[in-house]
Amino acid sequence: EESGQDFTELQEVEEKIRALSDELELKMVELDKEYTKKKRPLYDDRIKICSKITNFWLNALLNHRDLQEYISTSDYDVLRSLKILDVQEVDTSEHQGTRFQFTFSKNPFFDNQVLFKEFKYHKVSGDLTVESSPIKWKDGNNLITKAQEKKKGDKKKRTEEEDDSQTTSFFAWFLEEEESESPIGDWIREDIWKDPFKYFCGEADEGEEEEEEEGEGEGEGEEDGEEEEGDDE
């Protein structure tokens, strides 16, 4: 009977496997930190180059098919003045996380030169702290307030397209205290920051669409094969 069998040997092997997996995970974390530091000078070089390209970050952000839903047409003029987008790793004795920093040239909307949002996780408790810079809007140019007013207005007077493009503002993200970086922070860090030139050129979604089409084609092929087998029967 199974209850009479000794599983000690199996349990010992499983414990050794788990120990190696834990060791691998720790080494991967350290390796990731090491190479993140090595990449930093290259990121700085990339930032300088991108700052010289007209509307680089505006186009990169708008060409992300999910993030674009959070950017209103009113945001475009502000984002045209976005010269630097920087994603920095936060790693202190107590916290680790991500800092998103946006540097703007002089614009008629707010006085800030730099806006930031930082997500810090406590290394022991895992508790999240979110910090962001307050936006010093110039009189009459608060895009968040304008978007909220449009949302409260008579929806019958607005087309569906206007609803989608005018009743939100990317800058509202700086006021929100989410429980995680998702979704906007994740999209910026995991997608755009990893290859901003691809998004600037509008090539990112093309690759995703091709993969989706290939997946759909494979599924259709399998269904056709199943139907043929059924017909033979």
C-alpha distance from residue 205 to each of 2, 65, 69, 71, 208 (Å) = 54, 7, 14, 17, 5
Q: Are 150 and 166 in contact (CB under 8 A)?
A: yes
Give the closest residue to 49 by CA, choosing from 83, 4, 7. 83
Q: How far apart are CA 105 and CA 78, in angstroms?
A: 9
The 3-state DSSP class for residue 101 equals: strand
25 pLDDT more than 70: yes
Q: Judging by DSSP bridges, how do beta strands 82-91 and 95-104 pair with one another?
A: antiparallel
pLDDT at res. 151:
75
pLDDT at res. 226:
56
Assigned token pair, 23 = 């060791």
pLDDT tens figures, 61-88: 999 999 999 999 999 999 999 999 999 9
H/E element holding 98? Answer: strand 95-104
Q: How far apart are CA 218 and CA 156, in angstroms?
A: 44
The average pLDDT across 163-168 equals 58
The average pLDDT across 42-49 equals 98
229 pLDDT more than 90: no
pLDDT at res. 74:
92
Q: What share of the chain is helix, strand, coil (3-state, %, to 5)?
A: 55, 15, 30
Q: Say how far residue 71 (Cα) sits from the centre of its chain.
A: 14
